[in-house]
Structure 1
Amino acid sequence: MAALEEEFTLSTVFLGAGPDGLLGVEQSDKTDQFLVTDSGRTVIHYKVSDQKPLGSWSVKQGHIITCPAVCNFQTGEYIVVHDSKVLRIWNNENVNLDKVFKATLSAEVFRIHSIQGTEPLVQFKGGAVRGLEALLAEPQQKIETVISDEEVIKWSKFFMAFRYPVLIFITEKHGNYFAYVQMFNSCTLSKYTLLLGQEEKSVIQSFTASMDRKFISLLSLSSHGCIYETLIPTHPSDTEKNQKVARSLLLKAVVSGNPRNGVALTVLDRDHVAVLGPPLPASKECLSIWNIKFQTLQTSKELPQGTSGQLWNYGENLFMLHGKFLTVIPYKCEVSSLAGALGKLKYSQDPGAHAMPHFVNWETSQEYGLGSQNSEQSRRNLRRRKIEVSLQPQMPASKQLLSAIKKDSEKHIEVELRKFLAMKQTPDFHAIIGDVVTGLLGRCKAEPSFYPRNCLMQLIQTHVLSYSLCPGLMEVALEKTDVQMLQLCLQHFPDIPESVTCACLKIFLSIGDDSLQEADISMESVFDYSDSAQEEKMEEQTEILQNGFNPGEENCNNCDQELNEKPQDATEEITSCPVIPKRAALFENATMTLPGIHPPTLNQIMDWICLLLDANFTVVVMIPEAKRLLINLYKFVKSQICVYSELNKIEVSFRELQKLNQEKNNRGLYSIEVLELF
Structure 2
Amino acid sequence: MAALFEGYTLCGLVPAQNLTSSGVHGIKSERDDDHVLVTDSTRSVTLYKVSDQKPLCSWTVKQGGSLTCPVVYNSNTKEYVAVSDNKVIRIWKEDDITLDKVFKATLSSDVWQVHSTHGAEPVVLFQRGAIRLLDSILAAPQQIVEDVLAQDEDLRWSTHLVADLQHCVIFTTEQKGDHFLYLQQLNPNSLQKYCLEREEPGLCPLSFSVALRDKHICLLYLYPNGRVYQSIIPLRGIGDDGSQTLTLPRSLLLSLSVGEGLLEAASALILDEAHVAVVGAPHPSAGAGKDFLCIWNIHFQTLQAGKEMAGKIYGQLWRFSNKLFIPHGKSLSVIRYECSKSCLAAAVGKMRQARIEECKGLSSVPSWSNILHGEKVQPSRTADGRKARTSRRIQSLPSLSIEQMMELIKTEPVKKVQQEVDAFISNTPDLQLVVGQLASALVSRSLSDLTFYTGGLLSQLVQSRTLCHSICPELLLLALEKKDYFLCQLCLQFFPDIPEAITCACLKAFISITDSDAEMVNLDPAGVSFMDMLITKDSTQVGSQNGSSYTSVKNDRLEIMDRDAAVPKVNMQIPLEEPCPVSLNKAVLLNEILQAPYSENYLLPHLKDLSSQHALVFLQYLQFLYLKYSQDAFPQRKELRSPTLNQVMDWVCMVLDAHFTVLVMTPEAKGLLFKLHTFVKSQVKLFSELGKIGSSLQEIKTMKAKKDIGQYSIEVLELY
Normalised by the length of structure 2, the TM-score is 0.52
Paired residue for 2:96? 94
2:345 matches 1:345: no
Per the alignment, residue 306 of structure 1 pairs with: 312
Deviations 1:115-145 (A, max 9, x none): 0121000100011111111111111110111
Q: Distance in 2 between matches of 1:475 and 1:187?
A: 64
Residue 441 of structure 1 is aligned with which of 359, 372, 376? Answer: 359
1:511 CA drift (Å): 9.1
Displacement of 1:524 after TM fit? Answer: 4.7
- The offset of 1:525, in angstroms, is 3.4
Q: Is the 8 A contact 1:277 1:286 kept in 2?
A: yes
What is the letter of the counterpart of residue 446 of structure 2? Answer: F
State the one-letter code of the partner of 1:245: L
Task: Measure the CA separation in 1 of the matches of 2:29 and 2:223.
Answer: 28
Secondary structure of residue in 2 paired with 1:98: helix
Counterpart residue identity of residue 449, structure 2: S
Whether the 8 Å CA contact 1:15–1:38 is kept in 2: the answer is no
1:200-241 CA distance string (max 9 Å, x none): 862211111112234211111001011011122211275441
User: How do 1:450-469 residues align onto structure 2 when only pairs under 5 Å count?
Assistant: none
Equivalent residues in 2 for 1:229-244, closer than 5 Å? 229-236=230-237, 238-239=239-240, 240-244=243-247
Query: Paired residue for 2:326?
Result: 320
Question: Would you say 1:527 and 2:430 are equivalent positions?
Answer: no
Q: 1:42 maps to what in 2?
A: 44
2:171 aligned with 1:252: no
Distance 1:231 1:321 in 2: 29
The one-letter amino acid paired with 2:331 is: F
Q: Does the Cα contact within 8 Å between 2:42 and 2:66 map onto a contact in 1?
A: yes
TM-aligned CA distance change 1:583 to 1:48, over 3 Å = closer
Q: Is the 8 A contact 2:445 2:452 kept in 1?
A: no
Q: What's the CA shift for 1:296? A: 1.1
Alpha-carbon distance in 2 for matches of 1:131, 1:158: 12
Give CA-to-partner distance per residue, 1:375-422, whole Å, 9 cap, x none.
xxxxxxxxxxxxxxxxxxxxxxxxxxxxxxxxxxxxxxxxxxxxxxxx
Cα distance in structure 1, aligned partners of 2:130 and 2:357: 58
1:68 match: secondary structure: coil
- Does the 8 Å contact 1:224/1:257 carry over to 2? no
CA distance in structure 2 between the aligned counterparts of 1:175 and 1:84, rounded to whole angstroms: 26
Q: Is the CA contact (8 Å cut-off) linking 1:107 and 1:143 kept in structure 2?
A: yes
Flag the 1:86–1:339 CA change in 2: closer, same or farther, 3 A.
same
Specify the alignment match of 1:149 in structure 2: 151
- Asked if the contact 2:109/2:126 (under 8 Å) is kept, the reply is yes
Distance 1:270 1:518 in 2: 42
1:7 corresponds to = 7
Give TM-score scaled by structure 1 length.
0.55
C-alpha distance in 2, partners of 1:243/1:219?
Answer: 18
The gaps in structure 2 that reach 5 residues or longer are: 366-377, 388-401, 410-415, 427-438, 462-466, 475-720
Residue 206 of structure 1: aligned partner: 207
SS in 1 for 2:449: helix
Q: CA deviation at 1:517?
A: 13
Output the amino acid matched with 2:300: F
1:235 counterpart SS class: helix
- Distance, in Å, in 1 between the alignment partners of 2:236 and 2:384 is 55
- Which residue type is aligned with residue 84 of structure 1? N
User: In structure 1, what is the equivalent of residue 122 of structure 2?
Assistant: 120
- After superposition, the C-alpha distances for 1:489-515 in whole angstroms (9 at most, x for unaligned) are xxxxxxxxxxxx99x99xx99995596
Using the TM superposition, give the Cα deviation of residue 153 of structure 1 relative to its aligned residue in structure 2, in angstroms: 1.1
* 1:196 corresponding residue in structure 2: 198
Q: Contact 2:191–2:239 (CA<8 Å) still a contact in 1? A: no
Query: Shift of the alpha carbon at 1:61?
Result: 0.8
Q: How does 1:45-56 map to 2 (within 5 A)?
A: 45-56=47-58
CA distance in 1, matches of 2:44, 2:133: 25
The residue matched to 1:434 in structure 2 has which SS?
Answer: coil
Q: 1:537-548, aligned counterparts within 5 Å?
A: none
- Displacement of 1:186 after TM fit? 3.1
Counterpart residue number, 2:105? 103
Verify the 8 A CA contact 1:16 1:39 in the aligned structure 2.
no
Q: Is contact 1:278–1:284 with CA below 8 Å preserved after alignment? A: no
Q: Give 1:439 deviation, angstroms.
A: 5.2
Query: Which amino acid is the alignment partner of residue 224 of structure 1?
Result: N
How many residues in Structure 1 have an aligned counterpart in Structure 2? Answer: 413
Are residues 254 and 442 of structure 1, via their aligned partners in 2, closer, same or farther at CA, if it must alter by over 3 Å? Answer: farther
Q: 1: CA distance between counterparts of 2:247 and 2:149?
A: 16
Shift in Å at residue 292 of structure 1?
Answer: 1.0
Alignment partners' CA distance in 2, 1:593 and 1:439: 28
Aligned residues: CA RMSD: 4.0
Task: Evaluate the alpha carbon distance shift between residue 135 and residue 253 of structure 1 in structure 2; reply closer, same or farther with a 3 A threshold.
Answer: same
Letter in 2 for 1:83: D
Identity among equivalent pairs (%): 37
Shift in alpha-carbon separation, 1:106–1:86, aligned structure 2, 3 A: same
Residue equivalent to 1:272: 275
Change (3 A) 1:257 1:593: farther
Q: Is the 8 A contact 1:261 1:307 kept in 2?
A: no
Partner residue in 2 for 1:329: 335
Whether the 8 Å CA contact 1:256–1:278 is kept in 2: the answer is no
Which secondary structure does the structure 1 equivalent of 2:346 belong to?
A: helix
Q: CA deviation at 1:181?
A: 0.6
CA contact 1:271–1:292 (8 Å) conserved in 2: yes
| SS in structure 1 at match of 2:206 | strand
Do 1:526 and 1:585's aligned partners in 2 also have CA atoms closer than 8 Å?
no
- Deviation of 1:581 after TM superposition, in Å, equals 9.5
Name the CA shift for 1:514/1:10 in 2 (closer, same or farther; >3 Å): closer
Asked if the contact 2:418/2:457 (under 8 Å) is kept, the reply is: no
Aligned residues of 1:524 and 1:585 also touching (Cα < 8 A): no
Does the CA-based 8 Å contact 1:288-1:301 persist in structure 2? yes
Partner of 1:70: 72
Which amino acid in 1 is paired with 2:281?
P
After superposition, residues 578-657 of structure 1 pair within 5 angstroms as 582=457
Q: Is it true that 1:289 corresponds to 2:295 in the alignment?
A: yes
The alpha carbon displacement at 1:285 in A equals 1.2
Deviation (angstroms), 1:8: 0.2
Distance 2:221 2:196 in 1: 11
In the alignment, is the contact (CA less than 8 A) between 2:280 and 2:315 conserved in 1? Answer: yes
Higher mean C-alpha displacement, 221-230 vs 4-13 = 4-13
CA contact (8 A) 1:516 1:582 kept: no
Would the aligned equivalents of 2:125 and 2:131 in 1 still touch at CA under 8 Å? Answer: yes
Q: Which runs of 5+ in 1 are unaligned?
A: 347-429, 452-473, 484-500, 535-578, 595-678
Offset at 1:111? 0.5
Secondary structure at the counterpart of residue 75 of structure 1 = coil
Greater Cα offset, 266-275 or 209-218: 209-218
Post-superposition shift, 1:92? 1.2
Distance in 2 (alpha carbons) for counterparts of 1:211 and 1:267:
11
Larger radius of gyration: 1
Indicate if the aligned counterparts of 2:74 and 2:116 stay in contact, CA closer than 8 A: yes
SS of residue paired to 2:237: coil
Cα separation, partners in 2 of 1:237 and 1:134, compared to 1, 3 Å? closer
Q: Is the 8 A contact 2:225 2:263 kept in 1?
A: no
One-letter code aligned to 1:525: S
Deviations 1:459-499 (A, max 9, x none): xxxxxxxxxxxxxxx9969944999xxxxxxxxxxxxxxxx
Could you tell me which residue of structure 1 aligns to residue 82 of structure 2? Answer: 80
From 30, 33, 38, the counterpart of 1:31: 33
Cα distance change on mapping 1:482 and 1:61 into 2, 3 Å:
farther
- The one-letter code of the counterpart of 1:221 is L
- Tell me if the contact between 1:256 and 1:277 (Cα under 8 Å) persists in the aligned partners: no
